[in-house]
Amino acid sequence: MNGPRIGTTATPSILSDRHGEVKCDPRRVEAPPSLCAMLAVKFQEGAAWPLGGGFTSERESNHVGLLRLLSRIWDAITSFTRPPNAATLFRRADLYRQEGRFEEAAELVAQGLRLAPNNGVGHLLSAYLHLAFRQIGPAKAEFQSVLDLDPYHPRALLGLAKIALEERDLAACRPFLDKALQYYPDFPEARALQEMVSSWAMAPAPAGQRPAYAGSPIQVEKLKPPAGGREFVLTQADGTLVFSQQGDKDAEDLAAHVTQVYRIASATLQRAGLGSLRRGIVQAVTETTFFRSNDRLILALSFPQDVKVGFGLLETDKLWTNSLRELGVRA
Residue 239 is classified by DSSP as: S
Q: For the chain, what is the mean pLDDT?
A: 76
Distance spanning both ends of the chain, measured CA to CA: 102
Task: Provide the pLDDT for residue 29.
Answer: 43
Q: Which residue has the higher pLDDT, 39 or 274?
A: 274
Binning pLDDT at 50, 70 and 90, where does residue 158 land? very high
Q: Nearest-CA neighbor of 215 among 123, 96, 79, 324?
A: 324
Asked whether the predicted pLDDT for residue 311 surpasses 70, the reply is: yes
DSSP per residue over 84-125, as a string? P-HHHHHHHHHHHHHTT-HHHHHHHHHHHHHH-TT-HHHHHH
Q: Are 108 and 93 in contact (CB under 8 A)?
A: yes
CATH number of 222-330: 3.30.450.30
Asked whether the predicted pLDDT for residue 307 surpasses 80, the reply is: yes
Asked whether the predicted pLDDT for residue 3 surpasses 60, the reply is: no
Q: Are 292 and 279 in contact (CB under 8 A)?
A: yes
User: Three-class SS of residue 290?
Assistant: strand
Task: Provide the pLDDT for residue 26.
Answer: 42
Task: Provide the pLDDT for residue 76.
Answer: 63
Which residues sit opposite 35 in a β-bridge? none
pTM over 0.75: no
Q: Which residue has the higher pLDDT, 153 or 65?
A: 153
For CATH 3.30.450.30, the residue range(s) in the chain are 222-330
For CATH 1.25.40.10, the residue range(s) in the chain are 86-199
- Angle formed at CA 300 by CA 212 and CA 168, multiple of 5 degrees: 60
Binning pLDDT at 50, 70 and 90, where does residue 122 land? very high
CATH number of 86-199: 1.25.40.10
- Give tens-digit pLDDT for 179-206: 999 989 988 888 888 888 876 655 555 5
Task: Provide the pLDDT for residue 19.
Answer: 41
SS (H, E, C) 15-34: EECCCCCEEEEHHHCCCCCC
Asked whether the predicted pLDDT for residue 56 surpasses 80, the reply is: no
Task: Provide the pLDDT for residue 112.
Answer: 94
Residue 53 — φ and ψ, nearest 5°? -105, -165
Most confident of 30-39, 82-91, 106-115, 285-294: 106-115
